[in-house]
Structure 1
Amino acid sequence: MTPTERTAQESTKAEDAATEECSEASTPVERMRSPFRLLLLGGVALLAISAVAIALVSNFGEKKRKEAKVPAYDVTYTVTGTTNVSVSVQKGGGVALPGGEISPSKLPWTKHIAMPADGTPPTMDILLGEKGGHAECTLIIRGRLASRSVAEGTFGRATCSAEAPTTAPSTAP
């Protein structure tokens, strides 16, 4: 055999071996075992796990925000005077607070309430009886006078109402 024939024969054997390898690697099992494919599948799995984790964390954060308490502020309702009165304490918009409709037996009368800072104004109405007289209502919000009103005479009426804070008190000096 001449050197040229040997080279041609070796070349043919190499081509046959390469064809055989390609046909073996063409099976679905061999394609899945290739390192590139495994790396690709691992990346896809990692992305899926990350997406699920992000969804769970963001859902948990939403629940925490919903469960967070609305800031509150202190309101002191006070009635002073010389006669008996009917007192109606409201959260605003006509919504009576628990124990909101009362007739105190003695004046001065005071009630402290922690109101949610949701923008609904605190309101108090006082109504004198047919004997008349004099009575005054005050609303104190966060320690400061927010509203004062006076009722006088027969069936005299007064309303104290103030704008409600919508935020927690500032801690700045």
Structure 2
Amino acid sequence: MTTTAPERATDQDAGTEAAAEAVDEVLSSRWKARLSKWGVPALLAVAGVALIVGGLALTWGGGDQKPAPYTVLVAYQVTGDGTANITYLDNLKDGQEQNTSYGHRRKAHLPWHASAHVTPDSGPATVTVQLGAGGGHASCRITVRGREVQMATASRAYGRAVCTADIPPRQK
């Protein structure tokens, strides 16, 4: 009695195999007819298109590469005579990683200028100029995208001027 169940399963498997062979035979005869009609050139054309699309995907669709962060060019200028201590926002290093940091120039010889690519996430762009014990006059100026945003002047001993500019968001 235990042999009847496996025999039924074997009969079903044999029927399924026969049906699968019949389908394969019909499909293979259709493909043989198509290949003999269109031939190898069609197969090569399809393979060529696949290679081109794959190459383009590797070239332009890097996948692992992060898009460059949105930045705005900010220019800082300090004019005057003598030297001054200068601090300014410089939030991108090597144009890749976003790092909000400040550049410091102690006893910088005037006139002085610098520029930085700044993201809106870093807060306002700022340049600060502070005179020493000898005083004098110094002015700071900040431009965003080539347009002057603010100017300020420091005078007397330890005089200080601060120029600030908001970084505009990405234009849509």
Tell me the TM-score range normalised by the shorter chain: 0.5 to 0.7
Structure 2: which amino acid aligns with 1:101? R
Where does residue 95 of structure 1 map in the other structure?
Answer: 101
Partner of 1:82: 81
Displacement of 1:161 in angstroms is: 1.5
Query: Larger Cα Rg: Structure 1 or Structure 2?
Result: 1
Query: Structure 2 CA distance, aligned partners of 1:127 and 1:136?
Result: 10
Aligned equivalents of 1:125, 1:141: Cα separation in 2: 16
Aligned pairs for 1:22-33 within 5 A: 26-33=11-18
Change (3 A) 1:62 1:96: same
Offset, 1:73: 2.0
Q: Partner of 1:144 in structure 2?
A: 147
Of residues 122, 125, 139 in structure 1, which corresponds to 2:125?
122
Structure 2 residue matching 1:77: 3-state secondary structure:
strand
Alignment check: 8 A CA contact 1:119 1:165 kept: no
Q: Could you tell me how far apart the structure 2 residues matched to 1:94 and 1:30 are?
A: 72
Residue 117 of structure 1 aligns with an amino acid whose one-letter code is T
Go from structure 1 to structure 2 and tell me whether the alpha carbon gap of 1:28 and 1:150 turns closer, same or farther (over 3 Å shift): same
Q: Could you list the runs of 4 or more consecutive aligned residues of structure 1 that deviate by over 4 angstroms after TM superposition?
A: 23-26
In 2, Cα distance between the equivalents of 1:149 and 1:102? 19
- In the superposition, relative to structure 1, how do residues 33 and 127 fare at CA in structure 2: closer, same or farther (>3 Å)? farther
Matched to 1:95, the amino acid is S
Q: Aligned partners of 1:29, 1:69: CA distance in 2, in Å? A: 61
Does the CA contact (< 8 Å) of 1:117 and 1:167 recur in 2?
no
**Residue 162 (str. 1) matches residue 161 (str. 2):** no
Deviations 1:9-64 (A, max 9, x none): xxxxxxxxxxxxxx7994224225435xx79xxxxxxxxxxxxxxxxx9xx96935
Q: 1:63 to 1:81 in 2, by over 3 A?
A: same
Counterpart amino acid of residue 89 in structure 2? Q
| TM-score normalised by length of structure 1 | 0.56
* Contact residue 78 and residue 140 of structure 2 kept, 8 A: yes
Separation in 2, partners of 1:33, 1:138:
86
Percent identity at matched positions? 23
Gaps of 5+ in 2: 1-7, 25-56, 92-98
Change (3 A) 1:137 1:28: same
What CA deviation, in whole Å up to 9, does each residue of 1:50-92 have, x standing for no partner? xxxxxxx9xx96935x521112222111001234211112237
CA RMSD across the alignment: 3.6
Aligned residues: 123
Question: Is 1:123–1:160's contact at 8 Å kept on the other side of the alignment?
Answer: yes
- TM score, norm. by length of structure 2: 0.56
Q: Mind listing any 5+ residue stretches in structure 1 that lack a counterpart?
A: 1-22, 40-56
